[in-house]
Amino acid sequence: MKPQIHKKNKKRAAASNMVYIGAIVILIILAAIGFGLYATKSSVTTTVTSTSTTTTTATVTSLPPSDEILLNDSGTLYNNMVITQHYTANYACENTSSVQSLFSGLPGQEQQSTDCEVGVGVVPSGTLPLFVLTPAYAGLSIFGYQPLGATPEGFPTFTYNGTTHVVLTNCPGMGASNPALMCVDHPFLLYSPYFTAVEQHLGIKNGLNVTLSNGQTVHADEGVLFTPAHTHLIATSTGNSSIGWYLVVVLVMDPNIMPNPITGQCQDVVPSNLTDPTANCLTNITSLEHAMTTYDSAVIAANANNPIWQTLNDAFHVGGLQVIVPGLNSPADLMNTSNTNVVLYFSTPNMYPPNPI
């Protein structure tokens, strides 16, 4: 009989966009929803190689100049192309009984509360699914916190066989020490029973203390974490028409199928038993459907020391599955089921420019 992960009523809050986390105690993330409000126009990247004090070689893909970053836009993958998500309104978190205000006694804008959650799904009328690809194989670094392996900008890193790869995403993790590329107008913190399970896996049973950039230290109840790095995937384009999109979290466990958000390309990162390790590159919905039922030896090799995968495997025996979509039982559920209560509002103009893969 598989262990069950139970939900608890939690208090949680959305911090003001002007407040950033300065330091944290170890927070980890199993799944999280993500959003991006920045888009990179240039498809030109520069690769540099450096060696750390531990002699681990890191291959880093640098970002385009800051004047190439556009507010209120992000890239999204659609039918093997990279197009634009143009945001038209702030996010909304539909009311659920399992989340309430997180922090008490915070001054000013920090008292604002949201009810944003990974675990309870809502599908409001007239909305379409937005699949949020979270590179969970990168472990704790997806949170964006530099001491846990992320870049200063909040991009995750993944190390295999002595080489560390920077995982570029549409939106970096919210724990970034350099907030220049941080997603705005999105929940700063999320609650999830899955987060609680990961914390308990590491022996964290009473939540965590976090220090805000204003120097104030507050307590975050267990199951409350920050929004991690992610890339977007849609099944339908609405062109210049803006609608609501409900979020579906996808935990990518296979580094070979996580697409570069600028080029849309996947690359062999970890040796695989599959004939074509990148065949299910997550640039279209068909590939996502296939990845939900495809097992790859690369997943075991990539995640052996990853507490996110360890927690999932202990609870659900996920083994070498390329992706995990919490709460969804089969690919047939993808287009009509959500695992979050978050709705975003944007159009999808055919620009970025379109980049056939």
For residue 58, pLDDT over 80 is answered with: no
Sequence-distant contacts of 271-280: CB under 8 A, at least 24 apart: 271/297, 271/298, 271/301, 272/296, 272/297, 272/298, 273/297, 273/298, 274/298, 280/254, 280/322
- Structural domain spans, the chain: 10-348
Residue 287 has pLDDT above 50, yes or no: yes
Better-predicted residue by pLDDT, 120 or 79: 79
pLDDT at 22 over 90: no
Lowest mean pLDDT among 49-58, 242-251, 303-312: 49-58
Flag the least confident range among 24-33, 85-94, 329-338.
Answer: 24-33
Residue 38 has pLDDT above 60, yes or no: no
19: pLDDT strictly greater than 70: no
pLDDT at 208 over 90: no
Average pLDDT over the chain, rounded to an integer: 75
Give the pLDDT score at 87.
87
pLDDT above 60: residue 323: yes
Q: What is the pLDDT of residues 154-175, one digit of tens each?
A: 899 999 999 999 999 998 887 7
313-346 burial: b if 16+ Cβ within 10 Å, else e: bebeebebbbbbbbbbeebebbeebbbbbbbbbb
Q: What percent of the chain has pLDDT over 90?
A: 45
- Per-residue pLDDT at 326 exceeds 80: yes
pLDDT score of 218: 60
C-beta separation of 253 from 299 below 8 A: yes
pLDDT at position 223: 78
pTM, full prediction: 0.77
Question: Which of 278, 263, 265, 264 lies closest to 322 in space, CA to CA?
Answer: 278
pLDDT value of position 175: 75
Position 279 scores a pLDDT of: 98
What number is the average pLDDT over the span 71-95?
87
217, pLDDT greater than 60:
yes
Q: pLDDT at position 173, please?
A: 85
- The mean pLDDT of 122-140, rounded to a whole number, is 96
What per-residue confidence (pLDDT) applies to 189? 76
Confidence tier at 356 by pLDDT (50, 70, 90): very low
* The pLDDT value given to residue 145: 78
- Give the pLDDT score at 185: 67
Query: What are the pLDDT digits (tens) for 289-305?
Result: 999 999 999 999 999 99
pLDDT score at 176: 78
Give the pLDDT confidence score for residue 190 in this predicted structure. 77
Q: According to the model, what pLDDT value does residue 13 have?
A: 34
Residues 253-277 have a mean pLDDT of 97
